[in-house]
């Protein structure tokens, strides 16, 4: 495996005269997709992420690789076709993380069956050769046999259609590894604090700080790409203060429940809830994720917190469609994420009116900003951005390679009953850590499948630096069962400290700060045993 040790990667910044072809700011889906596109074409590429990969929106999605059924309903055929094409590529290139999931739309109106079957057949046809399976109408009896806990009163039947489902943060980590394998330098915990410009007011690089050591670097680049999601305006303001914001954040919340609320392998899709939103209940790992909301907000943060009314809305809607109404005690985790929607020109505050396609702009200084879009289209966003960088930076043009580039770990025949499947082709090497120390094969928590070797693997090969990096984004404990994650924190801190040679004070600070974050993923207070 290509080295992911931080010291070696940081050493690539030691030559102040080095000029990178492409500097990417932001290590979410968009930045990683852009860095991978650039590195695989052969450009000298550097990516800087202020926190951890996917710490922002990219770990907080509904976990769907989809064309977007609702954009079809809005008539945005081009957007849907593009996303369905990308969905097909991702199933091939990250075969271990993306799976074909069947979704059921229950019909409580007599006309629903025909209406949704026609719409979803069109959805599937738009995918062309990369289709996931035809939509079909099913009887009331079939709906009940697939979704045993669905509300049966006034149920006429349903429609089954297919879409993709994935693990978002794991894909981000695997993308970072693939970037490195393609020759890029990719660093987490590096914050960009300023842009540097020449006499002509053109951008020639960035100033950044290693958050772990406090060391400041001035780095030169032919192009600088702002891929910072809801933070794009912060970087744009470094270029030109007091401009009109480009992004209007919209918050989306999910709750996570035990699978007993909806056992079985199928997902539930409610196309129109009481207030006109779409709601999904999707089996994810061994839990059920239900969401989302769409609430315009003014503030942006790396750790957004669910609003009471968003939680109430999801619980109320779930109770309407599932026979057992979830209570606050049943919620294992609640997480919020911010959509970087492009702000409307006319100042409208209705998020439904804001385009969900991506937006690429070039400032007079040459700063390239890419935002909007969705996880599913990250590869296409990267390709468009690098095409633009070639133009802006006068780079020697090389063709795009990512359509057929396997992402680190990609392996088709994984056993999804074994939770280690997410490691794909790395699984055997991870398990071999048990030979180094047999205790690393022990579980981290009785309620969770994770083993200690995953922590060691995360630190050694996946650039995890903190307890939160492990429990939120290498394994997904924080999102699946926040109380179990809180319990696990001390053991995880011990294991990381052993690898990174950290002391007792570091461990205490790590556990305390993780628990402070984890509290916001719970609806009721929780005190861990130790
Ligand atoms: C609730 C919700 C559900 C969604 N569900 C889906 C779904 O099911 N399927 C789908 O395809 N899409 C989905 N999306 C959309 C998708 O998640 C986003 O489009 C995507 O994750 C955005 O990625 P990004 O890289 O642009 O932003 P982010 O993931 O937020 O990444 C930006 C990064 O920039 C970093 N950064 C900011 N400032 C600096 C700086 N100064 N220096 C260095 N780094 C910096 C941040 O730390 C952050 O990590 C969903 C979005 C939301 C909110």
Element (H or E) spanning 157, and its range? strand 157-165
| pTM exceeding 0.95 | yes
What separation in Å is there between the alpha carbon of 380 and the centre of ligand 1? 15
Blockwise average pLDDT, block size 10, the chain, 530 residues: 80 94 98 98 98 98 92 84 96 98 94 86 92 95 97 96 97 98 98 98 98 97 98 97 90 97 96 87 98 90 95 96 96 96 59 64 97 95 98 98 98 94 98 98 98 98 98 98 98 98 98 98 88
pLDDT of residue 209: 98
Can you tell me whether residue 445 is helix, strand or coil?
A: strand
Question: How many A from CA of 253 to the centre of ligand 1?
Answer: 14
User: Which of 229, 282, 377 has the most ligand 1 atoms within 8 A of CB, as the residue to mutate?
Assistant: 229
pLDDT at 352: 45
Place of tokens 């609320």: 261
Phi-psi region of 214 (alpha: psi -120 to 50; beta: other; left: phi over 0): left
pLDDT of amino acid 353: 39
**Residue 53 alpha carbon to ligand 1 centre in Å:** 10
Q: Which among 97, 231, 384 is the best mutation to test ligand 1's pocket, defined by most ligand atoms within 8 Å of the CB?
A: 231
Q: Cβ < 6 Å from ligand 1: which residues? A: 25-31, 48-51, 55-58, 60-64, 66, 191-192, 227-231, 234, 252, 292, 302, 337-340, 371, 373-376
Closest Cα to atom 27, ligand 1: which residue? Answer: 229
Q: What is the pLDDT of residue 2?
A: 58
Q: Is the peptide bond before 504 cis (omega within 30 degrees of 0)?
A: no
Per the listing, tokens 């495996």 go with 1
Mapping DSSP onto H, E and C, the string for 309-378 reads HHHHHHHHHHHHHECCCCCHHHCCEEEEEEEEEECCCCCCCCHHHCCCCEEEEECCCCCEEEEECCHHHH
> Can you tell me which atom of ligand 1 is nearest the CA of 376?
11
* Sequence-ordered list of residues with C-beta below 8 angstroms from that of 198, at least 6 positions apart, any chain: 204
Give the bridge partners for 101, in sequence order: 163
- Residue 346: what pLDDT? 52
The atom of ligand 1 lying closest to the CA of 191 is: 42
Ligand 1 atom index nearest CA of 51: 47
**Residue of 23, 25, 26 to test ligand 1 pocket, by largest number of atoms within 8 Å of CB:** 26
* Alpha carbon of 251 to ligand 1 centroid (Å): 12
Q: Which atom of ligand 1 is nearest to the CA of 208?
A: 42
Burial class (CB in 10 A: 0-12, 13-18, 19+), 496: buried
349-379 core/surface letters (b: 16 or more CB in 10 A; e: else): eebeebebbbbbeebebbbbbbbbbbbbbbb
| Atom nearest to 293 CA in ligand 1 | 1
Backbone angles phi, psi at 328, to 5 degrees: -60, -35
Element (H, E) at 498: helix 482-500
CA atoms within 13 A on the CB side of 108: 12
22: Cβ contacts below 8 Å, ≥ 6 apart: 34, 35, 38, 43, 44, 45, 46, 221, 222, 223, 225, 386, 389, 393, 395
Q: Which atom of ligand 1 is nearest to the CA of 374?
A: 19
Choose one of 61, 333, 334 to mutate for the ligand 1 pocket test, by most ligand atoms within 8 angstroms of C-beta.
61
Closest residue by Cα to atom 21, ligand 1, is: 58
Give the separation between CA 507 and CA 20, rounded to whole angstroms. Answer: 36
Taking the CA of residue 63 as reference, the ligand 1 atom at the shortest distance is 8
The number of the ligand 1 atom at minimal distance from the alpha carbon of 251 is 53
């Amino acid at each position: 495996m290509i080295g992911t040790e931080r010291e070696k990667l940081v050493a690539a910044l030691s030559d102040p005269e080095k000029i990178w072809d492409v500097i990417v700011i932001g290590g979410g889906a968009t930045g990683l997709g852009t860095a991978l596109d650039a590195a695989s074409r052969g450009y000298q590429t550097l990516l800087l992420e202020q926190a951890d990969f996917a710490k922002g929106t990219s770990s907080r999605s509904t976990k769907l690789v989809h064309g977007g059924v609702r954009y079809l309903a809005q008539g945005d055929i081009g957007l849907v076709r593009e996303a369905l094409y990308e969905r097909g590529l991702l199933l091939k290139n990250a075969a271990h993380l993306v799976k074909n999931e069947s979704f059921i739309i229950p019909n409580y109106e007599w006309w629903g069956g025909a209406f949704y079957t026609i719409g979803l057949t069109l959805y599937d046809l738009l995918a062309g050769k990369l289709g996931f399976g035809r939509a079909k109408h099913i009887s009331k009896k079939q709906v009940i046999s697939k979704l045993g806990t669905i509300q049966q009163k006034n149920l006429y039947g349903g429609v089954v259609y297919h879409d993709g489902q994935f693990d978002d943060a794991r894909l981000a980590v695997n993308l970072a590894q693939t970037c490195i394998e393609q020759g890029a330098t990719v660093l987490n915990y590096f914050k960009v604090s300023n842009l540097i410009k020449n006499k002509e007011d053109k951008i020639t690089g960035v100033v950044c700080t290693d958050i772990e050591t406090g060391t400041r670097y001035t780095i030169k680049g032919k192009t600088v790409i702002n891929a910072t999601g809801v933070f794009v305006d912060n970087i744009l303001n470094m270029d030109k203060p007091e401009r009109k914001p480009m992004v209007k954040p919209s918050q989306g919340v999910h709750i996570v429940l035990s699978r007993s609320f909806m056992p079985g392998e199928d997902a539930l899709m409610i196309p129109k809830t009481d207030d006109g939103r779409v709601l999904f209940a999707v089996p994810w790992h061994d839990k059920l994720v239900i969401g989302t909301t769409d609430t315009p907000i003014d503030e942006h943060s790396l750790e957004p917190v669910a609003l009471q009314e968003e939680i109430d809305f999801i619980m109320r809607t779930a109770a309407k469609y599932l026979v057992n109404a979830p209570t606050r005690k049943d919620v294992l985790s609640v997480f919020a994420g911010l959509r970087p929607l492009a702000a409307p020109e006319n100042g409208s505050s209705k998020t439904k009116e804001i385009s969900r396609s991506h937006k690429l702009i070039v400032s007079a200084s040459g700063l390239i900003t890419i935002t909007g879009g969705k996880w599913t289209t990250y590869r296409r966003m990267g390709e468009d951005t690098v095409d633009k960088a070639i133009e802006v930076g006068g780079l020697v043009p090389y063709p795009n390679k990512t359509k057929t580039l396997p992402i680190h770990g990609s392996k088709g025949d994984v056993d999804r009953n074994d939770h280690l499947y997410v490691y794909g082709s790395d699984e055997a090497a991870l398990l071999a850590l048990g030979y180094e120390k047999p205790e690393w094969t022990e579980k981290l928590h009785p309620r969770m499948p994770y083993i200690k070797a995953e922590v060691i693997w995360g630190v050694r090969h996946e650039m995890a630096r903190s307890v939160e990096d492990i429990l939120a984004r290498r394994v997904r404990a924080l999102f699946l069962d926040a109380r179990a994650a809180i319990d696990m924190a001390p053991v995880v801190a011990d294991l990381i400290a052993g690898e990174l040679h950290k002391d007792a004070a570091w461990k205490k600070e790590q556990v305390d700060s993780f628990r402070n974050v984890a509290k916001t993923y719970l609806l009721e207070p929780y005190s861990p045993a130790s």
